A and B are shown apart, each in its own frame.
Chain A
Amino acid sequence: MKPVLISIKRFTHQNRHIIVEIICLLYIILFVYAAFTKLIDYEKFQIQVGQSPIFTSIGGLIAWIIPTIELLIAFMLIIPRLRLLALYACFSLMAMFTAYIYIILNFSPFVPCSCGGILEKMGWTEHLVFNIAFVFLAIIGVLLHSPERNEQSSVARKSFKQFLFNTK
């Protein structure tokens, strides 16, 4: 068991740049795809957001903000200097979507739908799992991409990384 863990650790450390690239690529694909399916049928998306019990009063605004942020983050992921910031943004946005789904599933009087394209075919629970997976991708991305500033923080990070991979 131990040699396997060590080899995983070494593998992730050696290939961290590639892993970060993959995670960024996945996020770019996800956000560009999601933003465009929303914008292509913007009229429908706007109505669906308005029907959501959480955004009834501010649906119009949200319908613009979400695809804009998604495209902005995708753009920031391309630029190396903004990548770390973008990964934090990915994490926050995905966490918001996840919290939203959690609230919808547990507290909302009815469950509306407002996802485009392939994502529309997913059930809410599958969506939750999908989102949580992306949240973890963002965490891994942030941890691997963060510059190592001093010994202490990198130790903490390593132990967290270890925890992360232990659970997998």
Chain B
Amino acid sequence: MGSPITKLTICLIFSILTVLGLYAVSDKLTHEHNSFHRSFPPHPIIRAGGIDLKYNSYYIAGTDSNRVYLSNLTAPLHLLSVNLPDLDTTHIRLSIEDPENTKFRRNTKVEVLPPYFYITDGVTPRLLRGKIGEWHARRFMYDSAFFSVAIPIGPKSFALRSTSSKTREHVLGKETNKSPHVKLVPGLLEKQVDGIFCTDGMLHYNRELSQLIYLYHYRNQYIVTDTSLNLLYRRNTIDTNSRAKIKTATITSENSKTMATPPLMVNKRSATYGDRLLVHSDLMAKNESKKAFSKASVIDVYHLKRGKYEMSFYIYPYNELKLTNFEITNKNLIALHGQYLVVYNTHFDMFNRGLFPGKVDYTNIKTTPP
């Protein structure tokens, strides 16, 4: 007992246990407040294939019925077209009008909405458009509005998320070529804490329904509007987090505003196609095993027309890389796992057919790509 080595060992054990204890307490506080359940039908998605893109800086710029377009964060004028289901890739070089006076920034984004592709930059601001196939983009409409997100919703109109000059809070809006060009609709995004971090989320355009969807990152709500931004409805995701759990703070010495604690992320990623909204949730349900949840990425499927939660499924890591982003089309779920593009066949409708919704007709499921 008396020797220094014994004392040091006791100190060491005590120190490690203290840190582990703190970690366990904080982990418990952040993860154990969920009282909702998920249903996991068998095999709603089946992996069809994957390719190595060599870089992890690709993001999904858009899809059409048999193609995925990937743009690159570090090289905005390089576009990769991937054929479905063969996964043949074609490299495309985009050109722009007046390249000397065009700056690309971190938030410069390439969006593909057939028959056009768009290059958007909310800081300059600048909107460019070109035809798919010609791959030459030029300015084509009024583009003086600043924005943090711009999604093309028609040949000459964009849905925007911008910062209100009056309140300095996030606001949704629409930019068109007709005067008065920009229409902001305050009130769609509801402030809970600071109006910036607490209203952060994802803006999607659902082509098939011609509706806009805004899903919050930090609370369980999504907002659906028509293309003129008239509110159609607000609905909730299955978890119970109706208030954004965010604390903000200002660092005076750096003149910056930041989050004071890690925010409680509810909805990480999302995608929409047809009647469905798919959400990659960051919250564990009561009926899930912690092991599966921490290993895989859970996707919840919502039926927009019926207004209900349908099912959930896991996307497992591909080459040990977790899901980083995804998009859906009529038949496929297209996922990025770091530098890998992975394509899954979706079988969501199978669970709604027949006398026994929830039972699967396995004869129709192909486990290998045709």
Instruction: Give Cα distance in the complex from A57 to B28, angstroms.
Output: 10
Q: Which of chain B's residues have a CB closer than 8 A to the CB of A110? A: 262
Q: Is B98 an interface residue (CB 8 A)?
A: no
> How far in angstroms is the closest Cβ of chain A from B118?
32
Q: Is B232 an interface residue (CB 8 A)?
A: no
Residue of B nearest to A93 (CB): B15
Q: Is A30 an interface residue (CB 8 A)?
A: no
Q: Is A41 an interface residue (CB 8 A)?
A: yes
Interface of B is mostly: helix
> Are B4 and A57 closer than 8 Å at their CB atoms?
no
Q: Is B20 an interface residue (CB 8 A)?
A: yes
Q: Which residues of B contact A (CB under 8 A)?
A: 2-5, 7-8, 11-12, 14-16, 18-20, 22-23, 25-26, 29-30, 247, 249, 251-254, 258-262
Instruction: Give Cα distance in the complex from A59 to B251, angstroms.
Output: 16
Using known A-B contacts A47-B258, A99-B19, determine if residue A153 contacts B3 with beta carbons closer than 8 Å. yes
Q: Which residues of A contact B (CB under 8 A)?
A: 41, 43-44, 46-47, 50-51, 53-59, 88, 91-93, 95-96, 99-100, 103, 107, 110, 139, 142-143, 146, 149, 153, 156-157, 160
Chain A-chain B contacts (Cβ-Cβ < 8 Å), number: 92
> Are B26 and A54 closer than 8 Å at their CB atoms?
yes
Q: Which of chain B's residues have a CB closer than 8 A to the CB of A55? A: 22, 26
> Are A54 and B23 closer than 8 Å at their CB atoms?
yes
Instruction: Give Cα distance in the complex from A44 to B258, angstroms.
Output: 10
Query: Could you write out 27 A-B pairs with CB less than 8 Å apart?
Result: A43-B249, A43-B251, A43-B252, A44-B254, A46-B249, A47-B260, A50-B260, A51-B258, A51-B259, A53-B26, A54-B26, A56-B262, A58-B22, A58-B26, A88-B8, A88-B11, A92-B15, A95-B11, A96-B18, A99-B16, A103-B20, A142-B4, A143-B4, A143-B5, A146-B4, A156-B3, A157-B4
Q: Which of chain B's residues have a CB closer than 8 A to the CB of A153? A: 2-4
